[in-house]
Amino acid sequence: MAGKRVLVIDDDVKTTELVKLYLRRDGYKVVTAYDGLQAVDVARETHPDLVVLDLMLPGLDGFEVFRALRAESDVPIIMLTAKTTEQDRLNGLDLGADDYVTKPFSPRELAARVRAVLRRLPDETLQRGPEEVRHGELLVNFTKHEASLTGSLLDLTPVEFRLLGVLVREPDRVFSRAQLIEKVFGYDFDGFDRTIDVHVYNLRRKLEPDPRSPTYIKMVYGVGYKFVGGVR
């Protein structure tokens, strides 16, 4: 992971410097921004491999910055914020965040989460195995990091693509929420299992003809989820 560039965005200089210190110890190149407008400009100039984004920013708030970054790239984003309610976390993850860390936080834990997110980048994980997997009218191309249905590309977030990739690799296998958290996010989410439910829900909205009657991803009550390939 040494040499990867991380953009840290936070209006608190002490927090930014502390995060920078720990990430540099791990061999990352670190660039910083202290408000929303600057953050978008720095991201465009430096093309980071990962972004650590505080949500409470002057200028543009973190959600606006998130949307601006997502409109231009699939760079992994770890949200960093003092908002701690479950709904706040779900809102962040619903946008497609790769992780969500609440303040106060351990800089060592944040550095570990940065490593975990970078370990699961497409060129290191999902490209293992066949280049393409087809199930009926669904085609998943791991080299291009694309999924299409009846020839039309699906607008998936990076997390949704990884989740779909895990499931389509092993159709009919039932994955528990804990297993999906480990495979998709790279580590335990401290029992926050609902994050998988949120991403499955969002994925179904884009994949299923009728999300209320899914034919691709089905829940096995009390266990988890499995991919059934468009079969009712």
Sign of the Cα torsion 106, 111, 115, 121 reads positive
For residue 48, give the nearest of 14, 98, 103 by alpha carbon: 98
For residue 99, give the nearest of 204, 198, 189, 202 by alpha carbon: 189
At position 143, the amino acid (one-letter code) is T
Q: What is the pTM of this model?
A: 0.60
* Contact status, residue 171 vs residue 69, Cβ threshold 8 Å: no
Q: Distance between CA atoms of 25 and 23, rounded to whole angstroms?
A: 5
pLDDT (0 to 100) of residue 120? 67
Reported confidence tier of residue 127, pLDDT bands at 50, 70, 90: very low
Task: Please give the backbone phi and psi of residue 127, each rounded to the nearest 5 degrees, phi first.
Answer: -80, -5
Least confident interval from 11-25, 26-40, 68-82: 68-82
154-194 per-position pLDDT tens digit: 998 888 898 999 999 889 999 988 888 877 776 544 445 67
Reported confidence tier of residue 124, pLDDT bands at 50, 70, 90: very low
Give the domains, in start order, of the chain with CATH numbers: 5-119 (3.40.50.2300), 132-227 (1.10.10.10)
Indicate if the pLDDT at residue 143 is higher than 50.
Answer: yes
pLDDT (0 to 100) of residue 188? 47
